[in-house]
Structure 1
Amino acid sequence: MTLSNQCQNPSPDNNLSDILTAGKMNNMESETSVTRKLLPLAAFFMAFTTVMTVLIVYMDNTAIKHYQFRVNMSQDYDLLGVSQDDPQLIMYIRAVHLTPAIEPNHKPLKSEDEISEDTAYVIKLLKNKHKGFFIEAGAYSDGKSKTEWLEGNLSWQGLLIQPDPRHYFSLRRHNRKHSQAIHGCISPSPHPKEVSLHPENGGIKVNSIRSSLLDMDDSDWFNTRVKCFPLYSLLLATNVTNIDYLILETGGTELQVLETVPFEKTNIEVINVQVRSNDTEKDTLKKFLALKKYKFMENFNESYVFMLNH
């Protein structure tokens, strides 16, 4: 066989090699085609799996929150109508609501070393007493506290009460290390209450705990709701019934708050009451406290100071 015939008639081995090469190329093209077809399907399943995972986690969290809400509401119902000296109520306040008046996770706010005119007057009445105890309802509502100077300069301690969450956060950032704080308010009745804060008009709406959900307006769902406890309950929760200085700034319920106090079981030396009402209500307040052996001493604008007659 000549050389030209060999070139024109390739060997069987060459034919087999070409066939195998062509087959591999066809297989690769086929695999690439299948992969391209499967990519959208794989992407769909990955996206579906991700969405379902997120949905399951969300549903679990929602279920947990719903359970916690029902537990909290059941606890609230348990508090309905209990007496203000009920041991379970006192334990509940201590365990859930009383906290140190500090905020360790934020930069402290600068405290002003000045004293309000009415508190300066009270210090004279108490003869510059050291290590006294105060209750201040409405602390830092205007960015200031009437007891901060007492704590910093005369080693006083006490309880700071503030229902508005914005002012409460400010309160804790002042780092009142020797005092406790409560995000709540003082109830105008001898039972726990719940209030809706209305920042737009600076007011509150008081409800009983059981009716609080039923009586809520649509706008109430967008307002902060806080618990209110009787003043005597708060005294028992702090293990103190001898108070040197009580400041009441509760937005118009001051007299109602005082009417809930069993004065025969407490010893409150000086009471500073904010009064924004007419002369008739001021006279009513004076007469009520006179019956409890308190003498009207002085007023500083809307602050009326009374002292116990021994």
Structure 2
Amino acid sequence: MILFIAYERDATQLLQSYWLSAVAVISGGFVVYTCTRVLIERENGMADILHRIRGPLHSDDRRLIAVVREHFLIPPSLLPYNLAKPQDLGYHEYSKGDSWNIIHTYLKTLFTNEPPGFFVEAGALDGEFLSNTLWLEQSHGWTGLLIEPDEASFFHLQNKQRKSWLIDACLSHDIFPEEVVHVTRTAREGKESVGIPWYTRGSAHELNVDVEPETSVFALLSEETYSVAQCFPLETLLLALNVSTVDFLSLDIQGREKDVLRTVPFSKIKIRVIAVEIVESSVDQSFIDFMEGNGYVLLNKDTLPLIRDHIYVRRDEAILHQKLKHFVFSFKSFNRKSLAFNYEKR
């Protein structure tokens, strides 16, 4: 960790000299920057563009794409996987909880016997716990992009040695890159029971995004810290990777999912299947209408809002829809109501 202290009048010059992931505290004429990385200095002529990636630069700006490609994206690992050990029973039990089973069942139906594809998972956490994409990568040879803005989670993500691109950033909810204040949650001392640490980390979110009441279990069991996170439009990241087709997009970013999808140029980027977490407890019909207007079919409408994850498939994906013709998913919810969803009833 690097600590910069400067007089307030020097802060602008400092920010122009370095690209910082920092939190600024102004007190008594001083600015204190707690920095987690310094990527590049101004002498290479990139100071202006690095300053402007905090916004606004359009998502398809070639300079922005070059900076993302050269300084932010981390290539797939060539090392063996470093996943949780079989004896970590608690981790494995909880890592298949929540709505993971529902999404996984759909993915098996849709993508078994398909050629290897490309995924994007935003809110990748450590790359294993509740991962919607690890199975596709391990068992079916897929690759993709894993997006995680929380630095502690990203550290663990890198250590998993996933065979996909990584980026320590968040998805912008505008067509421009932006900086946001990221709220990290860690389990309070003495509250680190099995499963709680990673569920708690998974509830990290952007400041001022209404995710859950302050009395929620995660707020009660966690401590919050704050950092500045760099966000990029999804289009920018895909252009930097020269990808125009995403076979599966998983969005679990604690309250910004709908905003991110509204920035996607669906006429330029083909996304075949989307799993999106919706934090609201009521059904947002306007969002469903938006997705349907962009050519998608909501597969699990009958399970909402009991299960808040929406699963969409492009309307023109005839082969995928054929696979779903005899698909039936049954489950028991937390309030013990039995539900079954049959695709043919749609």
- Normalised by the length of structure 2, the TM-score is 0.60
Deviation for aligned residue 1:101: 4.7
- Match of residue 76, structure 1, among 33, 40, 50: 50
- Gaps spanning 5+ residues in structure 2: where? 1-5, 7-12, 20-40, 86-91, 186-202, 209-224, 317-346
Is residue 279 of structure 1 aligned with residue 319 of structure 2?
A: no
Query: Structure 1 residues 64 and 82, CA, compared in 2 at 3 Å: closer, same or farther?
Result: closer
Task: Name the CA distance, whole Å, in 2 between partners of 1:66 and 1:109.
Answer: 40
Distance 1:160 1:65, change over 3 A: same
Aligned to 1:156: 142
Over 3 Å counting, the alpha-carbon distance change for 1:81 and 1:110 in structure 2 is same
Q: Is the 8 A contact 1:188 1:253 kept in 2?
A: yes
Q: Is the 8 A contact 1:136 1:248 kept in 2?
A: yes
CA contact (8 A) 1:164 1:183 kept: yes
The answer to whether the 8 Å contact 1:187/1:231 transfers is: yes
Q: Percent identity?
A: 30
1:246 and 1:270 in contact (8 A); partners too: yes
Could you say which residue in structure 2 is the equivalent of 1:303?
309
Report the CA distance shift for 1:74/1:205 in structure 2 as closer, same or farther (over 3 A): farther
CA distance in 2, matches of 1:261, 1:87: 18
Higher helix share: 1
The amino acid across from 2:150 in the alignment is D
With over 3 angstroms needed to count, the CA separation of the structure-2 counterparts of 1:151 and 1:280, relative to structure 1, is closer
Partner SS for 1:263: coil
Change (3 A) 1:238 1:158: same
1:13-54 CA distance string (max 9 Å, x none): xxxxxxxxxxxxxxxxxxxxxxxxxxxxxxxxxxxxxxxxxx
Q: CA deviation at 1:78?
A: 2.9
- Are 2:322 and 1:292 aligned? no
1:46-75 alpha-carbon deviations (Å, 9 max, x no partner) = xxxxxxxxxxxxx9xxx9999435748743
Number of residue pairs matched? Answer: 233
Aligned to 2:118: 133
Greater shift, 151-160 or 291-300, is seen at 291-300
Which one of 72, 91, 99 corresponds to residue 97 of structure 1?
72
In structure 1, the partner of 2:105 is 120
One-letter amino acid of the counterpart of residue 156, structure 1: W
Deviations 1:178-218 (A, max 9, x none): x1000001000000011212224833138xxxxxxxxxxxx
From 263, 266, 285, the counterpart of 2:269: 266
CA contact (8 A) 2:82 2:161 kept: yes
Change (3 A) 1:133 1:169: same
For structure 1, the 5+ residue unaligned runs are 1-58, 207-221
* Offset, 1:123: 2.9
Superposition map of 1:2-81 within 5 A: 67-69=17-19, 71=42, 74-79=48-53, 80-81=55-56
Deviation, 1:158, is 0.1
Q: Is the 8 A contact 1:133 1:243 kept in 2?
A: yes
Counterpart CA distance in 2 for 1:153 and 1:109 is: 14
Taking only aligned residues, the RMSD between alpha carbons, in angstroms, comes to 3.3
More strand by share: 2
Deviations 1:105-161 (A, max 9, x none): x99332769774312312312353231110000012683311111100000000000
Task: Provide the rounded CA distance (Å) in 2 between the counterparts of 1:167 and 1:245.
Answer: 22
Give the match for residue 82 of structure 2.
Answer: 108
Match of 1:248 in 2: 251
Q: Aligned in 2, Cα 1:259/1:269: closer, same or farther, shift over 3 Å?
A: same
SS of the residue 1:261 aligns to:
coil
